Structure 1
Amino acid sequence: MAEVAAGERKGRKILVAVDEGEESGYALRWCLNNIVNQDSKDALVLLFAKPPRPVYSALDGSGYLFSADILETMERYSNEVADQVMEKAKNSCAGLNDDIKVETKVVNGDPRDVICQVAERLNVDLVVMGSHGYGLIKRAFLGSVSNHCAQNLKCPVLIVKKPKSHD
């Protein structure tokens, strides 16, 4: 293991899960304001998990068959969403000093699996993610990505909850 020279700080690798929701944008901004040290050599990995397209079979009885044009349109839309999410996340990081490296990753798959796999593969020091604040019933049906990651990752997971606005 390489030794760090006296006085030199080793930066942390922080993965921030982003999606199209306000909660992940808030979590990223909170991380930038409270976790990332402007005097550090921290590295941020902005990760968007692009959900897989649903698979429809002619045998499933639904009667849905999609033409190649429709499938291409769905894929193009999915790519546009990913591009917009990543552009917004990168813009949030615009004021960081040059020593802080910002990397973006778009990975296809279920967000639960993608976040855990990328965090483990990159050996990150911390995962930051927003909480959608689902109630018990919604969480039972939809599952909780943040809960899954907190239970399955070996590194710390910081779940940032967006405060309710007082309008």
Structure 2
Amino acid sequence: MGSEEIGGEKHKARKIVVAVDESEESMYALSWCLNNIIVRHPEDSFVILHAKRPTVVYSGFDNSAYLSSHDALSSLDRRDSDMACWVLQKAEKLCAEHDVKVEGRVEEGDPGDVICEMVKVLKADLLVTGSHGYGQLTRAILKSVSHHCVQNAGCPVLVVKMPK
């Protein structure tokens, strides 16, 4: 990636990863990033990342449970894949409205771990993620992905909180 002179200053093109899911907070973070970061630096490359949680089904102990759990697993996996496609399409549409070209990626695994790993693999300069605005107790119980990323990502992390 090269650099471009903006306002008399050199700006090194950056790779920005925006983590998205099906939440309103996630799309707000993407929109905020498009309006406040990308518009000012169009030479930056932009990756939208959706971390798809692995599908877990606990099977019973008899053969009929095995058959139904296999069907349930297939159905749940299809639903999760459809959701991942929907999330990326929604995010890509938002980017197209801002005339921003993006690379969309779906990776499977625990979202916090997947996002931090992909930041490393992609050699990201910045990670942008949304926040549900959970309190400390709720965050401890539900495991905040944004908090995990702030603690573990190998690049600066911008957590965008949606106004109430």
* Band of TM-score, shorter chain: 0.7 to 0.9
Letter in 2 for 1:67: S
1:76-96 deviations in whole A, cap 9, x for unaligned? 111110011000000110134
Does the 8 Å contact 2:59/2:69 carry over to 1? no
List aligned pairs for 1:1-150, cutoff 5 A: 4=2, 7=5, 10-37=12-39, 40-58=42-60, 65=66, 66-97=68-99, 100-150=100-150
Q: For residues 6 and 131 of structure 1, what CA distance do their matches in structure 2 show?
A: 32
Please identify, of 88-97 and 35-44, the stretch whose mean Cα deviation from structure 2 is larger. Answer: 35-44
**Two-structure CA RMSD over aligned residues (Å):** 2.3
Structure 1: state its 5+ residue gaps.
Answer: none
Please report the TM-score for the alignment, with normalisation by the length of structure 1: 0.84
The one-letter code of the counterpart of 1:48 is: H
User: Is the alpha carbon distance of 1:39 and 1:13 closer, same or farther for their aligned partners in structure 2, counting shifts above 3 Å?
Assistant: closer
Gaps of 5+ in 2: none
Write the distance in 1 (CA, Å) between the matches of 2:48 and 2:115: 11
**What TM-score do the two structures reach when normalised by structure 2?**
0.85
| Runs of 4+ with >3 A deviation | 4-10, 64-67
| SS of structure 2 residue aligned to 1:41 | coil
In the TM superposition, what is the alpha-carbon distance from 1:136 to its structure 2 partner? 2.0
Q: Which has the higher strand share?
A: 2
Q: Contact 1:24 / 1:130 at 8 angstroms: preserved in 2? A: yes
* TM superposition shift of 1:72: 1.3
Give the deviation of 1:5 after TM superposition.
7.3
**1:51–1:111 contact (8 Å) kept in structure 2:** yes
Aligned residues: 157
Is the CA contact (8 Å cut-off) linking 1:49 and 1:111 kept in structure 2? yes
CA distance in 2, matches of 1:6, 1:20: 34
Further displaced range: 5-14 or 109-118: 5-14
Please give the per-residue CA displacement for 1:59-112, whole angstroms capped at 9, x wherever unaligned: 6xxxx6543222211111111100110000001101344xx5400000000001
Q: Percent identity?
A: 51
